[in-house]
């Protein structure tokens, strides 16, 4: 328990440091008012780059998965089963 707790604490500190590093790289500071301090052009640019990167990685993973014989996501999603109506209480 002690080792697990200590490892979790160290991992938490490490992840927080990584998050601050990414924030500093994108916004040049990691304070809470960092978004307001950044220029509007930087805000739009950062989100556009994030969108392009996420979409590219997703498309790459999607193609890699379907090429390896996996189930095509779109074909399963378009079935009647994909409706979220069964989630309604």
Partner 1 sequence: MILCCAVATAVSRSVLGKQPTYHIPLYQLGRPAVLVVALLFGAALGPVAAFVLKGLRWFAALQDRSARLAPFMPFVVLSTLGVASAWLPHLLGNGYGAADAALHGDLAIPLLVTLPILRFGATAACQAAQVPGGLLTPMLSIGALIGGLVGAGVSHVWPGTPPGAFSLLGMGALLAGTSRDPISSVVLLSELSSDYHLILRLACACGAATLVSRPLDGARSIVWARAVRRARSQRCRGLPSRSTRRATSLR
Minimum CB distance to partner 1, residue 81 (Å): 9
Q: Should residue 16 be labelled a site residue for partner 1 when binding is judged by CB under 8 A?
A: yes
Q: Should residue 30 be labelled a site residue for partner 1 when binding is judged by CB under 8 A?
A: no
The three-class DSSP label of residue 31 is coil
From candidates 24, 28, 29, 55, binder to partner 1 by CB under 8 A: 55
* φ, ψ of residue 68 in degrees (nearest 5): -90, 15
Return d(Cα 16, Cα 14) in angstroms, integer.
5
Minimum CB distance to partner 1, residue 50 (Å): 5
């Amino acid at each position: 328990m002690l080792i697990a707790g200590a490892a979790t604490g160290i991992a938490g500190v490490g992840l927080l440091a990584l998050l601050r590093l990414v924030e500093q790289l994108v916004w040049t500071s990691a304070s809470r008012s960092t978004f307001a301090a950044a220029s509007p052009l930087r805000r739009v640019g950062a989100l556009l780059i994030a969108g392009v990167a996420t979409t590219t990685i997703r498309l790459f993973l999607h193609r890699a998965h379907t090429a390896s014989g996996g189930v095509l996501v779109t074909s399963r999603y378009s079935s009647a089963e994909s409706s979220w109506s069964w989630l309604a209480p």
